[in-house]
């Protein structure tokens, strides 16, 4: 196998091991030696690919985050109507959170603890811009309530994180019907009509 491919494989194994260990045991119980063992690599090898533990976690976060936003906007086109665009993006995000739950769970943990440093967190937020632009357009066109983007996010996208967690914890299953109900709840919370 080519050297480069082997390197990529090893790096990916490390990133994947980090995600799985943090998901199952929490960041506090995820040590470098456990990551190394799960990735079938020497602890010392990690330091050929990452500066230190913080760097490993930051890079893992950014990789997962951009996988998420790439998926969310993959077939979005800014020419769409506001409602169609929102429906599309919302469903892509729902899809991602429910299918790629390993990634989604990891992001939920990162977003709620200080395990990620602030620069990486800021970097991760940038990728959501197309959705924010869509919302601004929706407000101008009088289709979406004229409220802060934080509110719009809190009431349409953030609930999906909670539902994903509940689903993983096994207390609840989101079927197709419920996803549609969730979409209706999201849309009715932000649409402007009477």
Binding site for DNA (CB under 7 A): 1-4, 6-7, 10, 29-34, 40-48, 52-54
Smallest separation, CB 59 to DNA (Å): 13
Smallest separation, CB 102 to DNA (Å): 20
Residue with tokens 């349409």: 156
Which lies closer to its own copies via its Cβ, residue 10 or residue 91?
91
Exactly one of 20, 45, 66, 158 binds its own copies (CB under 8 A); which one? 158
Exactly one of 25, 52, 77, 81 binds its own copies (CB under 8 A); which one? 25
Short-list 156, 149, 143, 152, CA closest to 192: 143
Residues 6 or more apart whose Cβ sits within 8 Å of residue 111: 161
Q: Are 191 and 144 within 8 A, CB to CB?
A: yes
132 is an interface residue for its own copies by CB under 8 A? no
Residue with tokens 């999906």: 160
DSSP state of 163: H
Distance CA 64, CA 173 (A): 24
Residue 163 near which of its own copies, DNA, none (CB within 5-8 Å, type-dependent): its own copies
Which lies closer to its own copies via its Cβ, residue 114 or residue 119?
114
Distance CA 190, CA 28 (A): 38
Q: Are 100 and 44 within 8 A, CB to CB?
A: no
Q: Which stretch binds its own copies (CB under 8 A): 41-49, 65-73, 135-143, 166-174?
A: 166-174
Number of C-beta neighbours around residue 1 at 10 A: 6
Residues 6 or more apart whose Cβ sits within 8 Å of residue 125: none
Smallest separation, CB 158 to its own copies (Å): 4
Which lies closer to DNA via its Cβ, residue 35 or residue 108?
35
How many residues bind its own copies, per CB under 8 A? 39
- CA separation (Å) from 3 to 6, 8, 43? 5, 9, 20
Exactly one of 115, 127, 137, 143 binds its own copies (CB under 8 A); which one? 115
Binding site for its own copies (CB under 8 A): 24-29, 108-109, 111-115, 145, 147-148, 150-151, 153-155, 158-160, 162-163, 165-166, 171-172, 178, 181-182, 184-186, 188-190
């Amino acid at each position: 196998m080519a050297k480069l491919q082997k390197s990529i494989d090893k790096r990916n194994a490390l990133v994947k091991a980090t995600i799985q260990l943090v998901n199952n045991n929490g960041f506090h119980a995820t040590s470098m030696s456990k990551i190394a063992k799960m990735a079938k690599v020497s602890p010392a090898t990690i330091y050929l690919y990452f500066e230190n533990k913080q760097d490993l976690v930051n890079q893992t976060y950014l990789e997962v985050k951009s996988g998420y936003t790439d998926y969310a906007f993959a077939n979005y086109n800014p020419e769409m109507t506001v409602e169609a665009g929102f429906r599309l993006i919302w469903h892509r995000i729902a899809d991602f959170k429910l299918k790629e739950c390993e990634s989604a769970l990891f992001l939920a943990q990162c977003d709620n603890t200080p395990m990620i440093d602030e620069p990486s967190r800021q970097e991760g937020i940038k990728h959501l811009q197309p959705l924010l632009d869509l919302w601004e357009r929706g407000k101008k066109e009088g289709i979406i309530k004229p409220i802060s983007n934080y509110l719009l996010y809190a009431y349409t996208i953030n609930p999906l994180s909670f539902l994903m967690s509940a689903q993983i914890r096994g207390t609840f299953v989101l079927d197709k019907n419920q996803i549609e109900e969730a979409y209706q709840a999201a849309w009715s919370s932000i649409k402007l009509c009477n």
